[in-house]
């Protein structure tokens, strides 16, 4: 089955530690995205990549970093510079269908900083 | 960016139709209307999209007004499993001509027995 796999599903981190969230897709989609969701809020865009070896900052990129070395993979590193990293992180990929950009999401990774 | 207005919450009886409204009065001629839903603690799921014509798929129907300033997502026979937050998205970040969806707070739909 094609889809997006995020790991780990739950992650605990001590303050001052970097952590990397994995996102892998086998949909052959060119574009991939990272969103952050806080309780009761919508999704906020962290980074996105429309092609391998290229990525762009979203609305809340500070304290995060990404890489896109392979089409299938778009890992997100939450650095110690991120002031409030506890959140639900969602990875997505997309394909354009008749001019419309339709996203497919992973199941999410919940990060808790202790 | 995502200039849509949705009611924060709605409820619906199981088996009845759920009609979720969305206002997008600033939509431009080539912008699609998208609907996604998010069941608690899961990733959002794409439901349907449309440009001008009404659309139907196995999940829902999308009715877009003639002036395209509003739309309604219809779940024809709601079930308890349709309880979720529903996001109407019209516009997001423009990157190279492709819009990246911006998600607001959506409508929390509760389907009750």
Q: Do A92 and B36 touch (CB under 8 A)?
A: no
Average pLDDT of the residues of chain B: 90
A102 to B45: CB separation less than 8 angstroms, yes or no: no
Give the whole-angstrom CA distance, residue A68 versus residue B29.
Answer: 33
* Residues B34, A100: C-beta atoms closer than 8 Å: yes
Question: Which chain B residue is nearest to residue A96, measuring alpha carbons?
Answer: B98
Residue B96 binned pLDDT confidence (cut-offs 50, 70, 90): low
What distance in Å separates residue B76's CA from the closest CA in chain A? 23
> pLDDT tens-digit profile of B30-74?
889 999 999 988 999 999 999 998 999 999 999 999 999 999 999
Give residue A114's pLDDT band: very low, low, confident or very high (50, 70, 90): confident
* Strands, E assignment, chain B: 9-13, 18-23, 33-38, 45-50, 55-56, 61-64, 70-75, 84-89, 93-95, 98-100, 107-112
For A47-82, what is each residue's pLDDT tens digit?
999 999 999 999 899 999 999 999 999 999 999 888
**B-chain residues within 8 Å CB-CB of A110?**
41
């Amino acid at each position: 089955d094609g889809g997006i796999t995020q790991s780990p599903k739950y992650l605990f981190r001590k303050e001052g530690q970097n952590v990397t969230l994995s996102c892998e897709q086998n949909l052959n989609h060119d574009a991939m995205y990272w969103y952050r969701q806080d309780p009761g809020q919508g999704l906020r865009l962290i980074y996105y990549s429309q092609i391998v070896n290229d990525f762009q900052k979203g609305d809340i990129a500070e304290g995060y970093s990404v890489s896109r070395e392979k089409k299938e993979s778009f890992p997100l590193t939450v650095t110690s510079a991120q002031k409030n990293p506890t959140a639900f992180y969602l990875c997505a990929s997309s394909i354009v269908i008749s001019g419309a950009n339709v996203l497919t999401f992973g199941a999410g990774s919940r990060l808790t900083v202790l | 960016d995502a200039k849509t207005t949705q009611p924060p919450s709605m409820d619906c009886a199981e088996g009845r139709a759920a009609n979720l409204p969305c206002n997008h009065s600033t939509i431009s001629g080539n912008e699609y209307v998208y609907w996604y839903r998010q069941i608690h603690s899961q990733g959002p799921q794409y439901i349907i999209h449309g440009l001008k014509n009404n659309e139907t798929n196995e999940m829902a129907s999308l009715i877009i007004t003639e002036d395209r300033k509003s739309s309604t997502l219809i779940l024809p026979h709601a079930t308890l499993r349709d309880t979720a937050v529903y996001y109407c998205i019209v516009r997001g970040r423009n990157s190279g001509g492709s819009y990246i969806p911006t998600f607001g707070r959506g409508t929390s739909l509760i389907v009750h027995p």
